Amino acid sequence: MSINNFIISSFPRSAWERTPRTLQRPDRKCQNTSRSCALRGNANPGGGSQDAGASLHAFPRRAWERSGMSAGFIQRLPDRSAGFTLIEVLVAMLVLALGLLGLAGLQASALKNNQSAYYRSQATQLAYDIADRMRANLTEAKKFNTSQYDSDVLSPASAANQSACTTVANTCTPAQMAQQDIFEWYGDVTSFLPMGQATINASGSLYTVTINWDDNHDGNVDNNDPNFVMSFQL
């Protein structure tokens, strides 16, 4: 008879005494098989030191499985996945931190772009404003290169307030109106744009309005900052 039909187990004698009687009762086939019966009894067949309370027994496999004891005597293998959940948590926290940093950078970039778009829209409105003022004062604007609107003739920063053009009762000449327009317009440029600067240049019948500002807030208006340029004819 093949020994594969038996379960060989060594456990304390007290546990053996609690096993079902069907397992303790000698098996007839085991009695007729000297090889399997030789396994019953001494837990240390080779001699030497042994625990007197332990026994080595061979049970029929089917009876062992029906007894429900197999689960209690299966040796547990070492758990090689210990700490794996902690590693998963740490990796998840790292991924989350990187995601939050990326989200913060994206938010900062969006705010910067929104602010830059706002400044550009302000520059566009200011350029259209001075164009409308010049069309309302065609007598002076059509002088082109010699007009008070040309920055080579009158620097926007040096334009002064013309009191004669602030009330209806006073007489305001076209040249004074042009200077008043430049004074008010340039004041809006410096107010609505950070370190705003602007020039108006005439080339023949073509006027070009250029507006610059400190878009990157580095304290300088240079080539790293955008500008708005608009050309029109009267």
Q: What is the pLDDT of residue 87?
A: 84
Distance CA 155, CA 127 (A): 16
Q: What is the pLDDT of residue 18?
A: 58
Q: What is the pLDDT of residue 96?
A: 93
Burial per residue of 157-173, b for 16 or more beta-carbon CB atoms within 10 angstroms, e otherwise: eebeebeebeeeeeebe
Q: What is the pLDDT of residue 112?
A: 80
Q: What is the pLDDT of residue 187?
A: 95
Q: What is the pLDDT of residue 61?
A: 61
Which residues of the chain fall below pLDDT 50? 1-3, 21-52, 54-55, 70-75
Q: What is the pLDDT of residue 36?
A: 40
Contacts 24+ apart (CB under 8 A), 64-69: 64/7, 64/23, 66/22, 67/19, 67/20, 67/22, 67/23, 69/19, 69/20, 69/23
Q: What is the pLDDT of residue 45?
A: 42
Distance CA 78, CA 195 (A): 72
Q: What is the pLDDT of residue 58?
A: 56
Q: What is the pLDDT of residue 176?
A: 93
Distance CA 207, CA 229 (A): 11
Quick check: 216 and 203 in contact, CB under 8 A?
no
pTM: 0.56
- Taking only the tens place, the pLDDT of each residue in 55-104 is 455 556 666 566 555 444 444 555 566 666 888 888 899 999 999 999 98
